Amino acid sequence: MRISKSIAVCVLLGGAAMASAVMAQPMHHEPLQNVAQISTNGSVEVQQDLLSISLNTTRDGTDAGVVQAQLKQALDTALAQAKQAAVPGQMDVRTGNFSLYPRYNKDGKINGWQGSTELVLEGKDFPRITGTAGKIQTLTMGNVSFSLSREQRARVEGEAQAQAIERFKAKAGEVARSFGFSSYSLREVSINANDQNPPSRPRMMAMSAKAEMADASIPVEAGKSTVWVNVSGSVQMK
In a domain, 106, yes or no: yes
Kindly state whether residues 179 and 111 are assigned to the same domain.
no
Kindly state whether residues 235 and 203 are assigned to the same domain.
yes
Q: Taking 50 as the threshold, does the pLDDT of residue 10 lie above it?
A: no
pLDDT of 14-40, one tens digit each? 444 444 444 555 555 566 789 999 999
Containing structural domain, residue 42:
34-49+149-238
In a domain, 189, yes or no: yes
How many domains would you assign to the chain? 2
Q: Report whether 118 contacts 98 (CB < 8 A).
A: yes
Q: What DSSP designation does 12 have? A: H
Query: Which of 147, 167, 185 is the last residue in one of the domains?
Result: 147
Kindly state whether residues 135 and 180 are assigned to the same domain.
no
Please state whether the predicted TM-score (pTM) of the whole model is above 0.85: no
Kindly state whether residues 127 and 199 are assigned to the same domain.
no
Kindly state whether residues 133 and 155 are assigned to the same domain.
no
Helices 126-135 & 202-212 angle (0-180, nearest 10)? 40
pLDDT of 73-120, one tens digit each? 999 999 999 999 999 999 999 999 999 999 998 888 999 999 999 999
Kindly state whether residues 213 and 172 are assigned to the same domain.
yes
Kindly state whether residues 101 and 76 are assigned to the same domain.
yes
In a domain, 13, yes or no: no
CATH number of the CATH domain containing 93: 3.30.70.2970
Q: What DSSP designation does 63 have? A: -
Query: Which of 118, 147, 176 is the last residue in one of the domains?
Result: 147
Q: Taking 60 as the threshold, does the pLDDT of residue 154 lie above it?
A: yes
- Which among 212, 56, 74 is positioned nearest to 142, based on CA atoms? 56
In a domain, 5, yes or no: no
CATH number of the CATH domain containing 177: 3.30.110
Query: Which of 123, 147, 171 is the last residue in one of the domains?
Result: 147
In a domain, 4, yes or no: no
In 198-221, which positions are buried (b, 16+ CB within 10 angstroms) versus exposed (e)? eebebeeebeebbeeeeeebbebe
Kindly state whether residues 71 and 86 are assigned to the same domain.
yes
Kindly state whether residues 131 and 178 are assigned to the same domain.
no
Kindly state whether residues 171 and 209 are assigned to the same domain.
yes
pLDDT of residue 14: 47
pLDDT of residue 30: 60
Kindly state whether residues 160 and 234 are assigned to the same domain.
yes
Kindly state whether residues 66 and 89 are assigned to the same domain.
yes
